Structure 1
Amino acid sequence: MMDLIYILIIIIIAIIAYKSIKIIRPYEKGVVERLGKYNRTVERGLNIVIPFIETIRKVDLREQVVDVPPQEVITKDNTVVVVDCVIFCEVIDAFNAVYNVVNFYQAITKLAQTNLRNIIGDLELDQTLTSREMINTELRETLDVATDKWGTKVVRVEIQRIEPPKDIVEAMSKQMKAERMKRATILESEGYKESEIKKAEGDKQSKILAAQAEAEAIKQVADANKYQEIAIAEGKARATEITYNAIHAGNPTNDLIAIKYLEALENIADGRATKIFLPTEVSGILGSVGGIAELFKDDPEALEKFESIKVLENAKETADNE
């Protein structure tokens, strides 16, 4: 009998020990109630509670994921879209998380759906499809403020899907295709325009270079001709100077000058012209040539030249009389 009593005592002690010793894990906190009233909050590790008098409720502090079910939302331009999102949150106050909300997951889900309708209801379809980041930020701020009294912090919100109706999707697809074709046509025309501009600039540059080359060639030719004419003129001037100096250095007599003059007149008369105009000074010179005839009587060739000069003199007189 005593053995049975000992066994019962041991069992009771074991049950009491089991009920008294509570282990809180590192990612948990415990809310202790004594006779149904909040008593304290215990941290991670080994904790002792009074069995049958105190109870402990564990709260998970890890970041949790709440999947908001898809729902139909009407945009500002009366388009129905299907939207769903995911909420990432964590408990920062175990007391509020236990006593201020009955079903946290249901509460935050309904709150997210309601606020999502409000946010998207203020946006048009195009804005809704292109403003995911803005929707995420605004919804997170709204939920974070609303869940603060629940001892929970909303870390981030992500929109998973925004699905317009099928007819809208088809219209958007056609619009996108038309827009791409438009951009392709514009790019093609701009490419053609750019090509023509480059071609025109190339032709212009080619003509400019050709004109510059031609001008340079003309300048070179002109410089060469100028140099040639200068060289010829300088040569003639030098030859005239040398001849003049040689004549004066030789001290020629009047007879020699007369003979040279007659030779020059002979060359003039030997041309093909039917009329010859002689300067008026020639008659004076020819008048004084008569005295030179005696010099040529022993030289038949010189005498023949003299006779030709006489013929020129007679022709001059006849022309003057006419």
Structure 2
Amino acid sequence: MAYEMFIAIFIAVAILILFISGVAIIQPYEQALWIVLGQYKKRLNPGFNWVFPLISDVIRLDLRTQVLDVPRQEVITKDNSPTNVDAIVYIRVIDPEKAYFEVVNYHVAVLSLAQTTLRSVVGDMELDEILYNRDFINTKLRDILDHSTDAWGVKVEAVEIREVDPVGTVKGAMEEQTSAERKRRAAILLADGQKKAAILQAEGSKQANILNAEGVRQSKILEAEGERVSQILRAQGEAQGLRILSVGSVPLDKKALTVLTMDMMKSVANGQATKIIFPMEISKMIEQAAKYLGASEKIQEIGSPMDTEKIVGTADEVLGRIPRPEELRQELQSIEKEMARETEESLKQAEKIKSSDLPEPPKKRI
């Protein structure tokens, strides 16, 4: 009885093990190929799958993007410049049947094809083209590899040139060329800066000379105007003195002339001269002066101011119209406004000259 129970338990466990061994769990990023006794059955999708135990093979293929590193290799460019180049290839399996049945190992196949294609593409280009046209090289490599790997069920998503490293002698020559180019650009920039500085300095000197000349002109105008006003005022003062003298000389008689003559002699006596010589007798000189001035022996009575105006004329007739201080100030203000306007016009003219003389800035080269 115990033996039979043992046999039953053994059979149950064996059946359970066989059933478990037939379970195939496929991950979401995988697909599997089911092969039974060397014959392909079908593709297994992600999730739970059960296959015949002991006689089935399940080949899992990763459908995610895979990164392949193309080994570094030395390539001779079109202009005979030895250069070390390496790249990175991004691939993805899109047809599991082709990726397993059409090629032994699609990883090795894609790497080998990428190496030979990279050497062929780079060898047909010059070094400068390789350095400046990496996008073109990447696109061309991707198109060639994608077309070749289509029969293997593999899609080449992208190819990136990771490093282009010329050998030592070529790199040294490139560094010297770069240094010479930078020196040339620096010399051009320095010369352009000196040119602009000289232009600005000359323009500043010209504008300073213009402003200095304008200031000198305005100063001379003000000095001339002040001198004119001063001469007018001085002439008016002298005219007023003459009028007063003419008005006061009308009633002079012999006695007044005698008093004036004595006062004159007093002033002469107060001088520093030790000897005074008169060419004639004093009394005769005074008499002749009195007769010349029209003085009479009798003292005449001075009439009213109207009589004086009748004799010598009115003040306006003798002196002319005397400008008032307010009129002089208004005239000076008008002169200052006129000079300010002329200064503003001169500055505008100088700005126009500056804008017309300055050269146009050079266009930036692309």
TM more than 0.5: yes
Amino acid at match of 1:155: E
Inter-CA distance 305–223: structure 2 relative to 1 (3 Å threshold): closer
The aligned counterpart of 2:103 is 101
Which residue is equivalent to 1:49? 51
Q: Tell me which amino acid in the other structure corresponds to 1:50.
A: F
Label 1:221 to 1:149 Cα distance change in 2 as closer, same or farther (>3 A). Answer: farther
Q: CA deviation at 1:220?
A: 2.3
Instruction: Summarize deviations over 1:50-97 as a string: whole Å, max 9, x none.
Output: 234543211112221111112222212122212111112222332332
| Alpha-carbon distance in structure 2 between the residues aligned to 1:231 and 1:151 | 115
Q: Which residue of 2 aligns with 1:164?
A: 166
Give the match for residue 343 of structure 2: none
Supply the distance in 2 between the matched residues of 1:10 and 1:223 (Cα, whole angstroms): 135
Q: Which ranges of structure 1 fall in alignment gaps of 5 or more residues?
A: 253-298, 309-322
Q: Which SS does the other structure have where 2:53 is aligned?
A: coil
Report the CA distance between 1:11 and its aligned residue. Answer: 4.7
2:144 pairs with 142, 145, 150, which one?
142
Alpha-carbon separation, structure 2, partners of 1:150 and 1:86: 19
Query: Structure 1 counterpart of 2:46, which letter?
Result: R
TM (normalized to structure 1)? 0.67
* 1:102-151 residue CA offsets vs partner (Å, 9 max, x unmatched): 21111111221222123212321112122223322322233233323333
CA distance in 1, matches of 2:17, 2:81: 63
Q: Which residue of 1 aligns with 2:192?
A: 190
State the partner residue of 1:304. 288
How much does 1:228 deviate? 4.7
CA separation of 1:43 and 1:230: change in aligned 2, threshold 3 A: farther
Q: Deviations over 1:205-242 (max 9, x none)?
A: 22222112112212322333444556678x49x97xx9
Q: Secondary structure of 1:78's match?
A: coil
Aligned match of 2:60: 58
Q: Counterparts of 2:220 and 2:40 in 1: how far apart (Å)? A: 111
In structure 2, what is the Cα distance between the partners aligned to 1:170 and 1:43? Answer: 57
Q: How far has the Cα of 1:47 moved from its partner?
A: 0.7
Equivalent position SS for 1:145: helix
Match of 1:208 among 207, 210, 231: 210
Q: Taking structure 1 as reference, are residues 188 and 20 closer, same or farther at Cα in structure 2, changes over 3 Å only?
A: same
Q: Which moved more, 1:127-136 or 1:80-89?
A: 127-136
Using a 3 Å threshold, how does the CA distance of structure 1 residues 124 and 226 change in structure 2: closer, same or farther? farther
Aligned CA distance change for structure 1 residues 126 and 4 (closer, same or farther; 3 Å): same
What is the deviation of 1:13? 1.4
**Cα distance in 2 between the residues matched to 1:187 and 1:21:** 76
Q: Letter of the 1:58 partner, please give it.
A: R
Counterparts in 2 of 1:227 and 1:35: CA distance versus 1, 3 Å: farther
Residue 199 of structure 1 aligns to a residue whose secondary structure is helix
The residue correspondences of 1:29-44 to structure 2 (distance < 5 A) are 29-44=31-46
How far apart, CA to CA, are the structure 1 residues paired with 2:32 and 2:132?
A: 44
- Distance in 1 (CA, whole Å) between partners of 2:229 and 2:112 is 104
Partner of 2:91: 89
Measured on the aligned residues, the alpha-carbon RMSD in Å equals 3.6
Which amino acid is 2:45 matched to?
E
| TM-aligned CA distance change 1:210 to 1:98, over 3 Å | same
TM-score normalized with structure 2 length = 0.59
**Aligned pair in 2 of structure 1 residues 63, 232: CA closer, same or farther (>3 Å)?**
same
Cα distance in 1 for partners of 2:203, 2:38 equals: 93
Letter in structure 1 aligned against 2:157: V
Q: CA deviation at 1:189?
A: 3.3
Q: Does 1:125 align with 2:127?
A: yes
Distance in 2 of aligned mates of 1:43 and 1:182: 66
The count of residues paired between Structure 1 and Structure 2 equals 259
Deviates more, 1:30-39 or 1:161-170: 30-39
> Does 67-76 or 214-223 show the bigger shift?
214-223
- Supply the distance in 1 between the matched residues of 2:188 and 2:4 (Cα, whole angstroms): 103
Larger radius of gyration: 1
Pair 226,152 (structure 1): closer, same or farther in 2 beyond 3 Å: farther
Q: Distance in 1 between matches of 2:116 and 2:233?
A: 106
Deviations 1:143-181, CA, capped at 9 Å, x for gaps: 233323333332322222212121111111222223333
